[in-house]
Amino acid sequence: MLKAALLFLVIGLVLGLLGFGGIGGAFVGIAKILFFVAIAVFLVLLVLGLMAGRAVADRL
């Protein structure tokens, strides 16, 4: 997902440099949304992993 965010960011910046500000801004906006979604997914999986690790440690 971070690769897609980086790809959209690069495409948006290139479009902005070429004068297509509207569509370039849209690409940068999509990149921002994908980045924050990736961060949220990472945090959820981190919490779930820590909880699962504690459950395994408690059973030993």
Residues 1-32 have pLDDT tens digits of 899 999 999 999 999 999 998 999 999 999 99
Q: Residue 52: which pLDDT band, with cuts at 50, 70 and 90? A: confident
Task: Return the sign of the alpha-carbon dihedral for residues 15, 19, 33, 36.
Answer: positive
Residue 58: band (very low, low, confident or very high) from pLDDT cuts 50, 70, 90: confident
Q: What is the pLDDT of residue 34?
A: 96
Inform me whether the pLDDT recorded for 54 exceeds 80.
Answer: no
DSSP symbol at 19? T
Cα(54)–Cα(60) distance, integer angstroms: 10
